[in-house]
Amino acid sequence: MAISFGYQPRHFSDPTALPEGNHPGFLVQVTDEPKPEGWQMQTERGWRFNLAVWDTPAVVTSTPPELQSFLCSQTFSSGGKFQASRAYLSMKAALNRDIPPGERFDPNTLVPLPLLVNVERFDKQGRTVDFAIIKVVRPWPEGLALLTPEFTARLMAWWEQKAVEMEHARATMPVPAPTPAVPQMAPTPPPQAPAPAVPATPAVNW
């Protein structure tokens, strides 16, 4: 039997060069996703906060960002008897204000929203990971001054291009075949159609 080794990278974040600590960024979209298999989460679906993140404020307008993200449960509570939900705390930071009970809004009509993104690079076993672990985001009101019409259009065009690339990557990920209960000769697999090409998107110049 042929053996094939390989590493399947995560498709919802870029490999990161960011050091640990706080970094400037913008929330570019919140997406609705199913809970990953094996995750302990309060809800069966989660909200993924997609973020454009830079190393320092000095390079925000001159270099492309990294796409980093985090997933949280679809609860939205300011706390009280129980701890405030991560989605609430993240949007409170992005809006830089409290969100009163009864207020409803679509976060994707408000993006991009500036945030300071706290990055960690070690997992629970102390191993260095190749993506940014984001546990906390904080307000970054200084980022509002960078949101000129030209920069905002460039940033959102970058996000649209990233979203297309991620969707293509997820659609072409191989699905592992189930292990048969009784050893048997595997049938010859039918010819596979070539993977669809990534839809062409205009390059974003920084």
pLDDT of residue 160: 97
Identify the CA nearest to 90 among candidates 64, 110, 67: 110
Compute the average pLDDT of residues 80-97: 93
**pLDDT tens sequence across 141-160:** 999 999 999 999 999 999 99
pLDDT of residue 79: 85
Question: Contact 24/114 with Cβ under 8 angstroms?
Answer: yes
Inter-CA distances, 74 with 8, 32, 48, 123, 167, Å? 27, 9, 10, 24, 22
Asked if the peptide bond before residue 112 counts as cis, ω within 30 degrees of 0, the response is: yes
The pLDDT value given to residue 204: 74
| pTM of full prediction above 0.85 | no
Question: pLDDT at residue 180 above 80?
Answer: no
Pick the range with the lowest mean pLDDT from 37-41, 145-149, 188-192. 188-192
**Is residue 78 predicted with pLDDT exceeding 80?**
yes
Least confident of 32-41, 58-67, 82-91, 153-162: 32-41
Residues 6+ apart with CB under 8 A from 98: 78, 92
| 112-133 confidence digits (pLDDT tens) | 999 999 999 998 888 998 889 9
| 53 within 8 A of 65, measured Cβ to Cβ | yes
Indicate the pairing of strand 21-34 with strand 113-122: antiparallel
